[in-house]
Amino acid sequence: MIPRYAPREMADLFTDEARFAMWLRVELLATDGWVEVGDVPAEVAEACRARAPVVDAAFVTAVAERERVTDHDVAAFVDVVQSSVGQPEGSWIHYGLTSSDVVDTALCATLTRAADLLVDAAEGLMRACATRARETIDVPVTGRTHGMHAEPTTFGAKFALWALQAGRDVERLRAARRRVAVGKLSGAVGTYSNIDPRVEAHVCEALGLEPTPATQVVARDRHAEYLWACASVGTTIETIATEVRHMARSELGEAEEPFTSGQKGSSAMPHKRNPILSERLCGLARVLRGYLSAGLEDVALWHERDISHSSVERVVLPDASTLTLYMLQRATGLVEGLVLHPERARATLTEGSHGLVFSQSVLLALVAAGLSRDAAYRIVQRDARSAWEEGRSLRSVLEADAEVTLTPDQLDDAFDLARTLRNVHRFTDALEELDP
């Protein structure tokens, strides 16, 4: 992932140094496991651990140089480690293992750590949305369907629904973490032909993983589910960002992104305060969905293994993890700092809509007064059209319509914003079910 979108805490999990360090940890734990089984003397494992190389930039360079000979990264890694440990003890490094035992187990251990960061960040977004929901649950705004004025709602209702969706993302991320928290050290084609299952159990326990039956590789539906959870987070963030973009349009002006001192919205037009963060988040959500598509393509492999998934995962798993964390952090800041304009929202709701947002309330009042639904619908539809075309309030048009027999009190009730929003606290009541 390019540095622009790479939070350090996530990017550090996927450096060459971090990858080789996790490989080395698996190798040394496996040697310890052989000691427990009784096939390797304890002093051999102790020597391997004591003489194990420091995984730093020089080590990465040494592996790269060796790989130019072996054309195999794991083999090159093992050669460099064995050389550092020395003989005869070094011969027990990678004993009974195949490359995927090391790579897949290390990758799953890394993904669990990445998932922990994502869960924490997703919980942060959820909490931010829930806080804004409670703050603004009584602040009215025009609800829209198909981009058109519909009925009144509140800013808090929007935030609450985002919080609930973010909460479901937390659940999906936790489930994906459980799915990838597995390891396998079962050798070529996964039959434990040259390795004792107790070695696998020892390594997995130390890494916080569960041993899993596998071919030569861990089944890739697990990794695809992880990518699905990341893509789902991206889509939630896109949902939030899309709404912000719409509310920030000049014609609406109901909300805007936080604008810092010294910030410039346009290089040419000084008046601009463009929703650039929301637009960026919408674009990056598309990238995350692309990673999911690639991950799904990785699930079907030939027989007991091939490596068509390997090149894909070197890109999509680190990048998806890093990008998802970036998006969560920025989306949380967007929600926390989102500037609302309640006066502009109320003006649109009342004068701007000419009262059309109460059309259903009028319809139902006419039905309750004895009209058939179709007759009532036609009256309100006709008067609503007149109100819009003539720039008059719907109520005034209704009052002048001889077919409308509603009393002033009945019209007051139909156009009562408080009555329309009397149940809106059900949105924030639902937030109590969120797992903090």
Q: Which residues are catalytic?
A: 146, 266
Q: Give the list of residues 6+ apart from residue 61 with CB closer than 8 angstroms, or none.
A: none
DSSP three-state, residue 341? coil
Antiparallel, parallel or unpaired: β 148-154 and 255-256 = unpaired
Helix or strand or coil: residue 206? Answer: helix
What single string gives the DSSP state of each residue in 5-61? G--HHHHGGGSHHHHHHHHHHHHHHHHHHHHHHTSS-HHHHHHHHHSPPP-SHHHHH
| Alpha-carbon gap, residue 322 to 331, rounded angstroms | 14
- How far, in Å, CA of 148 to CA of 114, rounded? 41
CB 232 within 8 A of CB 129: no
Dihedral-angle region of residue 407 (phi above 0 means left; psi in -120 to 50 means alpha; beta otherwise): beta
Q: Are strands 210-211 and 182-183 parallel, antiparallel or unpaired?
A: parallel
Asked if residues 125 and 332 have their Cβ atoms less than 8 Å apart, the reply is: yes
